[in-house]
């Protein structure tokens, strides 16, 4: 059986990558650009048919998405105000995991990376951080 979580919801979606799937069959993806029901040109992180975060507010662009077994999502996003970060929802302050210019391991974060398998059922997120002192580290954020 085939099922499509975008059928008839995100008309005009020209790009739906990156994406991730969990063991329950939920799909998280970045849709770019969206039309109905959003303003044309809007980008979004979507879980099945539910938008988690959209551009046109504090976010300007989206990168990798990760999905856990309970439907929790984490995503990489660029901010309108500058910089980028890893977030769990639409509020760039309350849902921030880590962002560029944050302190980590005695240095400043200058770049971030997230893989689609980077979120586990316990809500922990594994990510890559490039630091101002030249180190590249793999770190884990606990909820």
Rounded Cα–Cα distance for residues 140 and 129 (Å): 10
Q: Indicate whether 56 belongs to any domain.
A: yes
Q: Indicate whether 10 belongs to any domain.
A: no
Dihedral angle of Cα 124, 125, 130, 136, to the nearest 10 degrees: 70
Question: Containing domain of residue 101, as a range?
Answer: 19-141
Tokens of 15: 């790009």
Q: Indicate whether 12 belongs to any domain.
A: no
Q: Indicate whether 60 belongs to any domain.
A: yes
Q: Indicate whether 126 belongs to any domain.
A: yes
Percent of the chain beyond pLDDT 70?
81
Rounded Cα–Cα distance for residues 32 and 41 (Å): 7
Query: Tens digit of pLDDT for each residue in 20-71?
Result: 878 788 888 888 765 555 566 678 888 887 888 988 789 999 999 999 887 7
Question: How confident is the model at residue 64, as a pLDDT?
Answer: 92
Q: Indicate whether 1 belongs to any domain.
A: no
Q: Indicate whether 24 belongs to any domain.
A: yes
Instruction: Give the pLDDT band (50/70/90) at residue 8.
Output: very low
Q: Indicate whether 53 belongs to any domain.
A: yes
What is the rounded average pLDDT of the residues 78-102?
Answer: 96
Tokens of 72: 């929790």
Rounded Cα–Cα distance for residues 55 and 129 (Å): 24
What's the number of domains the chain is made of? 1
Q: Which residue has the higher pLDDT, 19 or 93?
A: 93
Q: Which residue has tokens 């990168």?
A: 63
Rounded Cα–Cα distance for residues 76 and 113 (Å): 7
The residue count for the chain? 143
Quote the pTM value. 0.84
């Amino acid at each position: 059986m085939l099922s499509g979580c975008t059928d008839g919801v995100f008309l005009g979606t020209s790009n739906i990558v990156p994406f991730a799937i969990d063991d329950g069959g939920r799909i998280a993806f970045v849709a770019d650009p969206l039309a109905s029901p959003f303003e044309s040109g809007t980008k979004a992180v979507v879980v099945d048919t539910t938008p988690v975060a959209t551009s046109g507010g504090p976010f300007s662009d989206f990168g990798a998405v990760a999905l856990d077994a309970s439907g929790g999502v984490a995503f990489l996003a660029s901010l309108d105000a500058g910089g980028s970060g890893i977030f769990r929802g639409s509020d760039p302050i309350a849902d921030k995991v880590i962002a560029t210019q944050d302190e980590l391991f005695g240095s400043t974060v200058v770049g971030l990376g997230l893989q689609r398998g980077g979120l586990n059922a316990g809500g922990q997120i594994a990510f890559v951080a490039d630091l101002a002192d030249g180190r590249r580290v793999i770190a884990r954020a606990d909820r």
